[in-house]
């Protein structure tokens, strides 16, 4: 929901999911139904982009999330944990922390991440 003055404005968005055969993504509905909580991703650092290409997508100064509209163009979204490398459009992420359903947290390098879902911008894990 985005606020335009005091009137709520809802964006209709199409949710696109990509899957990675070596690390399939599954939504957690109920923790009690999990068979192996130590391998189920539950919370992720924000690794976001405006596309699915590692070389052509921008990972900083993103306006697809709506914060630019709320701030009158003064703010934008950025990925967490930037590396020193750049692609053709921006700095590249180094990776992100992944919290699992059993409570442990691990670092995942950007090389192992894939774009998984689009909600305005693309989310990688």
Tell me: the pLDDT tens digits for 28-82? 788 888 888 898 888 999 899 999 999 999 999 888 877 878 888 888 888 989 8
Q: What is the pTM of this model?
A: 0.71
Cβ–Cβ under 8 Å, residues 38 and 47? no
| pLDDT at 19 (0 to 100) | 53
Which residues touch 35 (CB under 8 Å, ≥6 apart)? none
How many residues are present in the chain?
Answer: 125
Q: What is the pLDDT of residues 70-86, one digit of tens each?
A: 888 888 888 989 888 88
Run of H or E including 69:
helix 67-70
CA distances for 69 relative to 61, 64, 98, angstroms: 13, 10, 29
């Amino acid at each position: 929901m985005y606020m335009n003055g005091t009137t709520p404005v809802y964006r209709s968005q199409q949710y696109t999911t990509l899957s990675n055969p070596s690390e399939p993504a599954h939504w957690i509905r109920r923790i009690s139904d999990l068979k192996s909580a130590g391998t189920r991703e539950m919370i992720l650092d924000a690794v976001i982009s405006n596309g699915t290409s590692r070389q052509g997508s921008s990972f900083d100064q993103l306006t697809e999330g709506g914060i630019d509209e709320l701030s009158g163009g003064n703010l934008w979204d950025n990925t967490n944990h930037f590396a020193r490398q750049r692609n053709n459009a921006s700095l590249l992420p180094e990776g992100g922390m992944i919290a699992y359903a059993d409570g442990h947290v691990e670092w995942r390098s950007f090389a192992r991440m894939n774009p998984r879902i689009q909600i305005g911008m693309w989310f990688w894990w």
